Every structure is written in C-alpha cells, then in structure tokens.
A and B are shown apart, each in its own frame.
Chain A
Amino acid sequence: MTTAAHPIVIDGQEFTFEPGETILDAARRNGIDIPTLCHLKGTAPTGACRVCVVEVQGARSLVASCVMPAAPKMVVSTESPKVMAARRMVIQLLLASGNHNCLVKGSDGRSYEEYASRLKRAGGDLEPCPAWGDCRLQELAWRYNVTGGRFSPTPPRYPIEDVNPFIVRDFARCILCGRCVQACNEVQVNQAIYQGFRGARSKIVAAGDRPYRESDCVFCGECVQACPTGALVEKDVRHRVRPWETRKVRTTCSYCGVGCQQEIHVKDNRVVQVTGVENVPPNLGSLCVKGRFGFDFVGSSERLTKPLIRENGALREASWDEALDRVARRLSEVKAGSGPDSIGVLTSARITNEENYIAQKFTRAVLQTNNIDHCARL
C-alpha cells in the first residue's frame, strides 16, 4: 500500500511508506529521529525496551515504533509530553537495574555508598563503567536529562564472568535488552546464548548457564558490538582503553578472503581494538574471532625492525643501504651468470594489489623472467 493518497503523518508531516515498514523505518527514512535501544537492524523486532515508544492517535496506549507497522492515515507524535515522560521512566528504571555508575553524580550520596559496599561484597566492578562515552543508555540518559537517582539500584545478582580470553560479561550492567541474543542467533547464527530464567532472576545465558568458554560460543564478538552498555566488553579494552583516547581508521581485514570492513582503534601508535563497520558490505558489521581479536601481531615485539644479512653463517643487523645493495648485486650477478630464468620470485596473497603489481613489474621488466607465483594454492 504505497500510496501517496494514504500517507502516514509523523509529527505533522505527511510521508509515504513501503509495505512492511514500521513506524520507525518510515520516520528514519524521512529524517525523523526516534531513539531506540533494543532494536537491532536486520533482526526481528522484540519490543523489549520501549524506549522507542510513540503516541498514535486513537491508540489506547503508547506503541513501540520499532514493532508497529506503518499504516495509512496513521497520525504519530514522536516527542509528545506523554512520550517524553514514558521514555524518561524507562530510562530511569534501566539505570536502576544494576551498576550504572557512570551516573553516580546524579544519585543521592547515601544510597550510592550503600550500593557500592554491597557491590564490593558481590565482587562487582567499582571502577567507572568501561563503556563510559560509548554507551547507548548513557547517551539516552543525557538526552532525556535523567539521572540515576530516582530509584535505588537493584543489587547485582550474578558475578562478573571473565574466564575466557576475549570477552568480559558484567551482568550488573546488563539491561536485558536482548540485542546480544539477536546478534548471536539472527545475525551470526551461532546460537550460543539465549534469555534464561524469569522475572528478577532474568539473565542472558549460554549452554544452560555456563561460561562462554564452555558453550557453542566462537568468540566472534558480534554480541559485544551489539551490546549498548558495559555489560559485554572486550577483555583487553576494559578499563584500559577509553573511547575518547583512540583514533579510528577504516580498513580491510587481513586474514581470510571475505574482506571484512573493519575499524582499527589506535592509541599511542598501537592497535588496541577492532570493530566491524556497520551497514557496509560484505560483512555489514560482523567479524570473526581472528578479525576482531587477532591483531596483536601488529605490535608484537617479535616483528622484524631492521634488515638482516647473513655473515659467517649467521644473520646480523644491517643498514637498508647495505642490505639493498647486497640484494641488487647478487640478483644482478645471478641474472648475468645463469640467466634471468634462474631467478624465481614468490609474491604474496597477504600484500596489497599495488605491491603485487610492483612485484610482477619488477620480476618481468627488471629480472626479465616470468618465474613469479604466490603460495595461495598451498
């Protein structure tokens, strides 16, 4: 029912919409920003958080715009006083549902001290939340001018899990939005985690409430990237790297042939984190364990830093000039002595196109041989 004749009205403006679009889709496509929290692009909406509620004329209660299909002649307000009040309430409750201590200033002193000592006893995290500055909940609290003080925080029910090399699960910061579950089941389809237990004991669990390490988890980190809070954080990043300390550079993964688009986060000339680039093919934000966590080789102390030359049977350090002269001289000698075809070049499936082109040009035009190949088939 794509009809200009029966548009949807959002905040007083008329818009056409496509069949199957939700109110949220129609609004976003037309530049109207409705805040969301649990909504994860490309997955079936769950309506879990209710941050995206809007007022629809004639409806008895507020509706979740990420779930409700757009309909002809629907009249929607996205920021009415009723909507604002509902969103603030949702955010206040979420802030109270655990250890959201980035907003500690807003809570009244006594209750936080009490909370902190309980937290300490439960083995919780007393440092400022690792997601500070990169947290959707914090962003929403700021936008809606909500502090953490209205409700007293619920005590942490489950201890932090860090018995794997890559991901720390801090249940006290989990707001049960379900994005990680969708990321794992509907995006990567690894089917490692799901919503477990009910009511106050609700928890995201893996393999009958066991650690990630003992489940089907393959450490792709999709859940970490989807988590809007500090509940799922890369182990190496947690408390060591703050988002404002890093510079991000977009590039292409250097492992397999999928060519995932990734963002390299750099701090002090070191790669400290890697994330997937959302909405861009071929990976649309996904990565695997190698692409996301396998970057330590870049800054490894075992990297070669100087040319080496063999002398008396052993390799010793040399200057570039010495090494390059040696290579040029020896290759020229072999070429002159035994002919161009006595030299072979292996170029590489690991280096860039530009470099492979240079390697073939060098082999063919300078060495004057076609003895060039690479080990890709090995």
Chain B
Amino acid sequence: MTNTIADIEQADVILITGSNTSENHPVISSVVKRAVHLKGKQLIVVDPRRINMARYARKWLRPNLGTDVAWINGLMHVIVSEGLHDQTFVGARTTGFEALRKTVERYTPEYVEKITGIRAADLIEAARMYAGAGRASILYCMGITQHTTGTDNVKSLANLAMLCGHIGQPGTGVNPLRGQNNVQGACDMGGLPDVFSGYQKVTDEGARRRMAAAWKVDNLPAFAGLKVTQMLPAAHDGQLKAMYIIGENPLVSDADLNHAEQSLRKLDFLVVQDIFLTETAKLADVVLPSACFAEKDGTFSNTERRVQRVRKAVEPPGEAREDWRIVCEVATRMGYPMSYADSRQIMDELRSVTPSYAGISYERIEQQGIHWPCPNEEHPGTPILHREQFTIGKGVFNAIDYLPPAEAIDRDYPLYLTTGRLLYQYHTGTMTMKTEGLNEIAPECFVEISPADARSFAMPDGALVSIASRRGRIQARLKISPKAVQGTVFLPFHYAQAAANRLTNAALDPVCGIPEFKVCAVKLEKAA
C-alpha cells in the first residue's frame, strides 16, 4: 500500500475495486465501514458481484468481467473533459499527460457502457465523486490483478489517482491489499526472479557485486530467472529438472491444475517443505517437515509495509524445524556453509544488504512495527509513500487501451466464471480446514448463481451440478444468491476436491505472469 490502514479513515471518498474486503481482509473492511457508517465518508464499489461492501456504498458499479481498463479510462474521460483533474499536481509531478488524454478521449461514457455494462450516468457520477473529493483512497485486490491485463489494470488505477492528485497525502493513494500474510515480505526479500532483497535488480552489476561480496561468492547469475507461471511449463517441456517448493501448494492454487500436475510429475527431482502433506507434497521425492508461524521467531511485513514480529509460542511437532534451518542445512551440505544462531542474526545480515530495511531492528519493533523504507536506525519509517516525489522522480502516466479478456463466452460455454475466497476459509485450505467450526460454516465448494440464471437453467438451490470449461470439469452444489449477477457465476477456490482451478484459464498477463483466474467461460449441467 502507498498509505496505511488507519489512514483509510481519513479519506472522503473510498473506491474499492476487485476486493471482496469483508471476506478477505475483514479487519480492513471494518476500517472502511467505520469511515462510511460512523463518519459519513463515501464509498464507491466497483465489482462484478454484489459483495457485502456494496451495502455500504453510495454507488455500486457493476462491470462485465475483465473490463477494468475500460471503466477506469471512462472515469478519466469524464474527469478530463469536465476539467476535474488536479492540474497543479499533473503539471508539477507527472509526465505523459498528453498521451493519456488522447487515449481516454475515446472512452466516452456511452462507449464504456457498451463494453462494461456500467450505465453512463453512474460512471459520470462516480467520476465526479472521486475527482471532487478532498482526499480519495483506492483499495484493490486480486480482482484487479488476476487478469491477462492485470498490469494494465494496476497502471490504470495509478493513472486515475495521479490525475486527481490523490496520492502522497493521508487518506489517498493506490492501495493493494495483499492476500497472504507475508506476500509483501516474500517480495521485499527477493523471492522474485528479477530482484534481490529490497528490489535491487539482478541485472544491475553494482547490485550483483555488492550481494556477491556480502555472500562471499565469486559471481551471481546476471539474468532474471523464471516466474512461477513459467517454471511449470518449463518443467513440462523438460527444461526445468528439479524444484524446491517451500510452503506452497501450486496443485490447488495454480490456474489450469491438470496441466500443473503433469508438469510437476515430469520433474526429475521435487522437494517439498511444508507443515502438511499437501497435494503438492504427495508428488515429492523428498518431503521436509517445517515449523509453522507459532513455532518460530522472525518477522512478517503486512500489506501496509509494516514489518512486525513473529514470536515462538509452542514447540514444533516431532522433528519439524524452522524453514530457515532446513535450507541452511541443505546449503551447507552442498558445500556452502550457512549457519545462524537465530532469526535475529539473519535479520541483522539482511538489513545490511537491504537498504529499505536497514533501520528496522528487532529492538525497534518490539512493541510496534515500522513501515519500510526505513534507511537507518534514527529513521521513523515511511507510512506514506510518494509524499514529495515519486521514487522514480516524476510519475509517469501510461496511456493504455482496453483489451478484452482471453476467453469469451459462446454457445458452448455460455456463462462467465469468476473465482475468489470466502471469509471462513483461506487459500488452499490446508490451515483453515483443520478447524472444525470453519468447516461447519463453510463445508464444501459451491457455485454461486443469480436467481435469474438459476431459473433459466431450471435448477433449484442446493442442486448438485457439474461445471465445465474447456480445460476441465468439477461438481459443486448450486447456491442461489443475490450477490451474483445474471450471466456470471462464482466459485471459491479453496477446495481441493472440487478445485475451481481445474476450470480456470492459465492465460498469463504478459508482464507479471499472473494467470487470468478471474474470467473464463463455463457451462452448467445437472450432475450425472
């Protein structure tokens, strides 16, 4: 997030899109609901489902799946043509406005209505609300990123915020809500193919030299590696021979599971390190038992870039060990000795090579976490990014055109499918499904359908149906819900037995390699 969680309450207008906040980030949803319900702030929700947050919204805009660039361009069209943009901000702090203006010119409310299904009048009203606000904050999640155009969607939201100068101040910003507890940290720590910790490029010779010196090796590979979505195809093609998978379960979370499974089976050697024998671990050659969060010390970085302590509360079961100890053992046995007394010693090393974390010591975050960047021990941390200027100097507008999603409905597959999470389950369910109460409330997969669609398919609530896409078929019970909009069904992706990702499309965003989990075409039939 560019801003903090607490800061959301300071916005006059909050725009939520592609985030089912009350189910996926419940405590943040409370911040938003407090702002709306008790402080009279205004909420705009743009989401293909009538999610709970829509109940609190002044406006709920319902776009067709995968049309985000179109409605965002539409908002900018209205803002520019009515002169509602922040000309001072645009002039002083950005470049590329002319190109943007030209591109959004075509996106008249009427044109946008044709693509997105959002009524022209609603679009205009939302544009005026967002642009007219003293402070406005954008919150988004995977409903924006999990598309073939995910990168475009995110850039478009940044365009919108910059256009109105809603950035760099309390109550503003473009705020991605991270789905998993330490996504932020995994990225910050260089768990990415193109950067070392602190987003230092592997292609940058200086960075490579510094890291090589710190790690006492002669050299480090100079080209970006494979993304997860490239690794599986590479395994399939036989280029990737071995994988070491730590705490991930791609066999439920990956798009197009059938293909993912074949890929992993082709590997010569697969190591899986996890707390449970997951679907993925069952395919491994070696499975290493690790300690879970309650059994170790360390830090997590939350969605607002706040680095917070994790503390050991109980002993791990049996012979399970902390993940870092296991990896260090493997490294040592491969002839590169790695050993640390404890997690604090690792933190001290990583701070010394990661400028944005340099000032964050365990002592300083004993009571309360600190937001990176925090370059030294005197620095208070950075709750709000881009205050005076953008990290890269001027903010760049990206003129972006709308591209339709990779798969469209047709005669054979007449319904759109979108996927997501439920309040009571988490990711692939390996953790939440161990709590009986959570299973009691959210026991099994279901397919959420609008009352109108249910009627036209003549299927009653609770009926067992089969859902098929071009890639696979699963069964689930039908759940008629006012949250669904005619023409689009929804599946939660937690359940391995009826894995939604047997259906989803592995078409990737060309830049960041995220699969299009949020749109594909399916058909419904009575289960055999």
Cα–Cα, bound, A270→B314 (Å): 7
- Would you give the 0/1 interface string for B274-317, flagging 1 where the beta carbon is closer than 8 Å to chain A? 11110001101111111011111011111110111111111101
Q: Which of A255, A261, A286, A309 has the most CB of B within 10 A?
A: A255
- Chain A contacts with B in 4-37, Cβ cutoff 8 A: none
Assess the B182–A294 pair: CB atoms within 8 A.
no
Does A3 sit within 8 A of B, measured CB to CB? no
Does B463 sit within 8 A of A, measured CB to CB? no
Please indicate the chain A residues that have their CB under 8 angstroms from the CB of B6 in the complex.
281-282
- Would you give the 0/1 interface string for A268-310, flagging 1 where the beta carbon is closer than 8 Å to chain B? 0111000000001111001111110111111110111111111
Please indicate the chain B residues that have their CB under 8 angstroms from the CB of A344 in the complex.
225-226, 231, 234-235, 240, 242-244
Q: With A251-B293, A290-B424, A310-B285 in contact, is A257–B276 under 8 Å at CB? A: no
Which single member of B191, B231, B367, B424 contacts A280 (CB below 8 Å)? Answer: B367
Q: Which of A82-90, A95-103, A119-127, A332-340 is the interface stretch?
A: A332-340
Does B456 sit within 8 A of A, measured CB to CB? no
Please indicate the chain A residues that have their CB under 8 angstroms from the CB of B333 in the complex.
324-325, 327-328
Interface residues on chain B, number (Cβ under 8 Å): 154
Assess the A350–B180 pair: CB atoms within 8 A.
yes
Q: Which of A49-57, A107-115, A182-190, A237-245 is the interface stretch?
A: A182-190
Assess the A352–B310 pair: CB atoms within 8 A.
yes
Does A348 sit within 8 A of B, measured CB to CB? yes
Please indicate the chain B residues that have their CB under 8 angstroms from the CB of A59 in the complex.
none
Q: With A357-B350, A373-B228 in contact, is A252–B314 under 8 Å at CB? A: no
Assess the A345–B308 pair: CB atoms within 8 A.
no
Q: With A304-B277, A331-B269 in contact, is A369–B248 under 8 Å at CB? A: no
Cα–Cα, bound, A235→B435 (Å): 13
Closest CB of chain B to A44's CB: distance in Å? 9
Does B186 sit within 8 A of A, measured CB to CB? yes
Please indicate the chain A residues that have their CB under 8 angstroms from the CB of B181 in the complex.
252-257, 259, 349-350
Please indicate the chain A residues that have their CB under 8 angstroms from the CB of B426 in the complex.
255-256, 290, 294
Assess the A296–B434 pair: CB atoms within 8 A.
yes
Please indicate the chain A residues that have their CB under 8 angstroms from the CB of B188 in the complex.
353, 356
Q: Which of A166, A257, A260, A324 has the most CB of B within 10 A?
A: A257
Assess the A259–B302 pair: CB atoms within 8 A.
yes
Does A378 sit within 8 A of B, measured CB to CB? yes
Q: Which of B271, B274, B288, B512 has the most CB of A within 10 A?
A: B288
Closest CB of chain A to B479's CB: distance in Å? 17
Assess the A345–B286 pair: CB atoms within 8 A.
no
Q: With A298-B294, A374-B186 in contact, is A293–B26 under 8 Å at CB? A: no
Does A370 sit within 8 A of B, measured CB to CB? yes
Interface size class of A (residues with CB under 8 A): 35 or more
Assess the B193–A371 pair: CB atoms within 8 A.
yes
Which single member of B315, B327, B357 contacts A355 (CB below 8 Å)? Answer: B327
Does B368 sit within 8 A of A, measured CB to CB? yes
Assess the A252–B26 pair: CB atoms within 8 A.
no
Q: With A357-B189, A377-B512 in contact, is A305–B221 under 8 Å at CB? A: no
Assess the B324–A165 pair: CB atoms within 8 A.
no
Q: With A258-B25, A352-B185, A368-B220 in contact, is A343–B190 under 8 Å at CB? A: no
Q: With A259-B303, A370-B193, A376-B179 in contact, is A304–B285 under 8 Å at CB? A: no
Does A342 sit within 8 A of B, measured CB to CB? yes
Cα–Cα, bound, A327→B285 (Å): 9
Q: With A310-B284, A370-B202 in contact, is A256–B437 under 8 Å at CB? A: no
> Who on chain B is nearest to A333 by CB?
B269
Assess the A252–B309 pair: CB atoms within 8 A.
yes
Which single member of B244, B254, B318 contacts A331 (CB below 8 Å)? Answer: B244
Does B430 sit within 8 A of A, measured CB to CB? yes
Assess the B30–A188 pair: CB atoms within 8 A.
yes
Closest CB of chain B to A329's CB: distance in Å? 8
Assess the B34–A373 pair: CB atoms within 8 A.
no
- Chain A contacts with B in 347-370, Cβ cutoff 8 A: 347-362, 364-366, 368-370
Please indicate the chain B residues that have their CB under 8 angstroms from the CB of A341 in the complex.
221, 225-226
Which single member of A258, A309, A355, A359 contacts B285 (CB below 8 Å)? Answer: A309
- Would you give the 0/1 interface string for A164-192, flagging 1 where the beta carbon is closer than 8 Å to chain B? 11100000000000000000001111100
Cα–Cα, bound, A309→B329 (Å): 17
Which single member of A249, A260, A307, A347 contacts B286 (CB below 8 Å)? Answer: A307
Assess the A346–B248 pair: CB atoms within 8 A.
yes
Does B423 sit within 8 A of A, measured CB to CB? yes
Assess the A368–B221 pair: CB atoms within 8 A.
yes
Cα–Cα, bound, A287→B29 (Å): 11
Does A250 sit within 8 A of B, measured CB to CB? yes
Closest CB of chain A to B501's CB: distance in Å? 8
Assess the B191–A356 pair: CB atoms within 8 A.
yes
Please indicate the chain A residues that have their CB under 8 angstroms from the CB of B334 in the complex.
328, 331-332, 366
Does A105 sit within 8 A of B, measured CB to CB? no
Assess the A296–B436 pair: CB atoms within 8 A.
yes
Assess the B294–A376 pair: CB atoms within 8 A.
no
Does B338 sit within 8 A of A, measured CB to CB? yes
Assess the A298–B243 pair: CB atoms within 8 A.
no
Q: Which of B269, B284, B299 has the most CB of A within 10 A?
A: B269
Assess the A266–B313 pair: CB atoms within 8 A.
yes
- Chain B contacts with A in 421-480, Cβ cutoff 8 A: 423-424, 426, 430-432, 434-438, 440-441
Q: With A305-B289, A355-B327 in contact, is A364–B221 under 8 Å at CB? A: yes
Cα–Cα, bound, A364→B336 (Å): 12
Does A375 sit within 8 A of B, measured CB to CB? yes
Subset of 6 A-B contacts with CB under 8 Å:
A258-B303, A305-B317, A355-B322, A368-B221, A371-B231, A376-B187
8 tightest A-B CB contacts, nearest first: A305-B318, A259-B302, A165-B437, A352-B298, A257-B178, A370-B225, A348-B247, A328-B333
A residues in contact (CB < 8 Å) with B = 164-166, 186-190, 218-220, 235, 249-261, 264, 266, 269-271, 280-283, 286-291, 293-300, 302-310, 315, 320, 323-328, 330-332, 334, 337-338, 340-362, 364-366, 368-378
Known contacts A290-B438, A303-B276, A320-B319; 12 additional CB pairs below 8 A are: A249-B313, A250-B311, A256-B181, A303-B318, A305-B320, A309-B285, A315-B282, A324-B288, A334-B241, A362-B331, A370-B221, A376-B178
